[in-house]
Structures are given as C-alpha cells and as structure tokens.
Amino acid sequence: MTTTISANPERSRGRETSLQSQRARAAFWFLAPMLVMLFFVAAWPLFRSIMFSFTDAEANDIFTGGSEWVGFDNYLSWRVRDDGSIRWRGVLADADWWNAVWNTIRFAFMSVALETVLGLLVALVLNAEFKGRGLVRAAILIPWAIPTIVSARMWGWMLNDQFGIINDMLLTVGFIDSPIAWTARADTAMIAVLMVDVWKTTPFMALLILAGLQMIPRDMYESAKIDGIHPMKVFFRVTLPLLKPALMVAVIFRVLDALRIFDLIYVLTPQSEATVTMSILSYRELQQFGDYGEGSAQSTLLFLIIALFVLLYIWLGRVDLSGERSK
C-alpha cells in the first residue's frame, strides 16, 4: 500500500485543493456577467462623460464625432484682453455654477439635518411600545412609497398660490394675510423644496435609525432604570453613542442622495436661480443647450464632489475592506 505514496511535499505546497479552485472558478463565472454589465452601463459612460468634458462636443457631435480636444478649457480658461484685463471662462468661472453649487450644498445640508432630527424623533416614537405602533409605521411608509415626481405634483398642488390648501390653512389660522406663491418666489422656493423632501425622506431616515435603536439591548435601559439614571442622561450617555455608527451611515447615505437632487426641484419649482442645483444646471447644459463639453465638465465636478463623500462614507462607516463580516 505504501508503494503508491509518492511523498513529494514540494508538489503540494501552496496549491489549492480542487474544492477551493472549483469555487474560485465558479466565483469568476458568477461575477463576470455582472461586471461586464456594470462596465457597460457605469464605467464606460462615466469615462466617456469625463472625456466629453475635455472637448468642445455639441449634441450633434455625438453622432458625427466631430468634436475637438480643448483640454481644461471647459473647466477654466482665460484670455488677456486688449486693455490688459483678464477674461475668465469655463465652469469654474461661471457665477451660475457657483450659485448651483451653493444651492445644492445648502439643500443637502438643511434637508439632511432636518431629516435626521425628525427621523430620530419618529424613530424614538416607534421604538416605544404602544397600541397601534404597526399602524403608525405603516403610515410613515406612505410618503416613502410615493414616487418623487408624484409627491412633487401633490405638494405643488397643495402649495398652489391661489387654490392651495397650505395657503388656506395659514390664512385661516392668521399666520399670513395674503396667499404666498411658495414654489415661484425666490425666498420661499427652497423652503418649499425642503418641505417636500423632508416629508418624503424622513421615513427612510426614521426606519434606518429605528433599526439602529433596536440593536441596542433592552437590558441596558433596564439597568439604567434600576440605577435611577435620568432618561435624558441615558439618551446622551447610552443611546446616542451606540446609535452613532448607524446614524452616521444613514446621514452620509442621505447626503449623497441629496447632492444629486434633480427630479423634485425640476418638477416642483421653475428652476430659477433660487433653487437650481448642480444636476439641473448640468442637465440644462446637456439637453437644452446641447453643450456636451461644459455640461460634462459640470457633471464631472459633481461626480468628484460625490466621490469625496463616498470616501468619507467608507472611512466613517468603517466598511470592512477584507469583505469579511464585521462582527
């Protein structure tokens, strides 16, 4: 029997068993279709968009390919005029662009802050035990389930200057003495957008926070209660620190979403200077003006900003790079 043994330790060193290689092979074929698909719908278009941003492409050039390489001119270029003054051109020298950047950031900042605090409040309510909790949870899922466009239209109707029910309510209570054109006026349009976004997205936030709350062991509250610690103190010393990771991830998720806002503002408001965002400006440049060079430069800048936040998410969310389960 021992004659069949050809003990050669060198041969087996470092080689995978056929189970491992079978699985590795399978993994490759399982991943390949998805990766090919993602390459075609994500990586390649992104690459092309970035390429466009370095050309003077216009809508027609998409079909004819007659665009020229212009380097960073779409981002920033300058020309010294005869009188010696410098004329700046490009997205980075465009006041409209910076206005859109501030609008986007202001919107993201305000909406996420409001949604976090209100989401926390709703989550705390849902975390308490009371009769009808299931119904309340079902009710708050409704705004989340309504398509953004539909909620923009519903609120557009409610915020209508002449016939809107919001103006009617405020008039009845006496907060205002004449109807407000919420979505059209420069000083209220952003408020209207925030209102709708907060209404629609707070449920999502609340559910994520609720999941985080429910991961906190109940006995921690019970022992705090036995020790006679004031609930406020428990909230700041126990609940909030334990909730922080879930909260951070939820916040960054929402920030990323808010930074690319397009549909709500596009439908709810006339997209004036008061509410125009990076996505809308870029869309307008691409679709309405057909300037693929500058439009792509704008969208690339938005991509870079969001990429920055994704990195932040990875860092704060401590996503495990090894792909193993994190505890």
Partner 1 sequence: MANIQLRNVTKTYGAVNVIKGIDLEIKRGEFMVFVGPSGCGKSTLLRLISGLESITTGDLYFDGERVNNVIPSKRGIAMVFQSYALYPHMTVYDNMAFGMKLGGSSKADMEARVRRAAGMLQIDHLLDRLPRQLSGGQRQRVAIGRAIVRDPRVFLFDEPLSNLDAALRVQTRLEIAKLHHDMRDVTMIYVTHDQVEAMTLADRICVLRDGKVEQVGTPTELYDRPNSVFVAGFIGSPKMNFLEGNFAEAHGCATLGIRSEHIDIVPEGQEMWQGRVVHTEDLGSDNYLFVDVGSGEPLIVRQPGKATIPEGTVVSLLPRPGMLHRFDAAGRPVQMPIAAQ
Partner 2 sequence: MIDLLTFLFWNLLYFAAFVGITLAVVFPFYYAVLSSADRSGERTASGVFWNIVFWIVVALIVLIAIFPFYYAVLSSLETGTQLFIPNYLPQSLNPANYEAVLTRPSFVSSIVNSVFVATVTVVAALFLAVTASYALARVRFRGRGLLLLTILAVSMFPQIAVLSGLFELVNWLGIYNTPWALILSYTIFTLPFTVWVLTTFMRDLPVEIEEAAIVDGASPWVVISKVFLPLLWPALVTTGLLAFIGAWNEFLFALTFTITETRRTVPVAIALLSGASQQEIPWGPIMAASVIVTVPLIALVLIFQRKIVAGLTAGGVKG
Q: Restricting to residues 19-58, which ones interact with partner 1 according to CB under 8 A? A: 19-20, 22
Site for partner 1 in 225-244 (CB under 8 A): none
Of residues 274, 252, 306, the one with CA closest to residue 100: 274
- CB of 28 vs partner 1, minimal distance in Å: 17
5 binds partner 1 (CB under 8 A): yes
Amino acid at 169: M
13 binds partner 1 (CB under 8 A): yes
Rounded Cα gap, residues 41 and 49, in angstroms: 12
131 binds partner 1 (CB under 8 A): no
- CB of 13 vs partner 1, minimal distance in Å: 5
Rounded Cα gap, residues 235 and 242, in angstroms: 10
Residue 128: CB atoms within 10 Å: 7
Residue 137: both structure tokens together = 């949870």
78 binds, among partner 1, partner 2, none (CB under 5 to 8 A by kind): none
Q: Which long-range contacts (CB under 8 A, 24 or more apart) does 285-288 make?
A: none
DSSP H or E segment with residue 88: strand 86-89
Q: What angle do CA 270, 276, 280 make, to 5 degrees?
A: 95
- CB of 40 vs partner 2, minimal distance in Å: 7
Q: Which is nearer to partner 1, 13 or 81 (CB)?
A: 13
292 binds, among partner 2, partner 1, none (CB under 5 to 8 A by kind): partner 2
Residue in this structure with the two tokens 């193993």, named with its chain if needed? 324
**Collapsing DSSP states into helix, strand and coil, what is residue 82?**
coil
308 binds, among partner 1, partner 2, none (CB under 5 to 8 A by kind): none
Q: Which stretch binds partner 1 (CB under 8 A): 1-9, 65-73, 145-153, 163-171?
A: 1-9
14 binds partner 1 (CB under 8 A): yes
199 binds, among partner 2, partner 1, none (CB under 5 to 8 A by kind): partner 2
7 binds partner 1 (CB under 8 A): yes
155 binds, among partner 2, partner 1, none (CB under 5 to 8 A by kind): partner 2
User: Which residues, 6 or more positions from 120, have their beta carbon under 8 angstroms from its beta carbon?
Assistant: 205, 206, 209, 247
160 binds, among partner 2, partner 1, none (CB under 5 to 8 A by kind): partner 2
Q: Which is nearer to partner 2, 5 or 128 (CB)?
A: 128
**Helix 148-158 / helix 186-214 crossing angle, nearest 10 deg:** 130
Rounded Cα gap, residues 160 and 168, in angstroms: 10
Q: Which is nearer to partner 1, 16 or 273 (CB)?
A: 16
- The residues of the shown chain that bind partner 1, judged by CB under 8 A, are 1-2, 4-7, 9, 12-20, 22
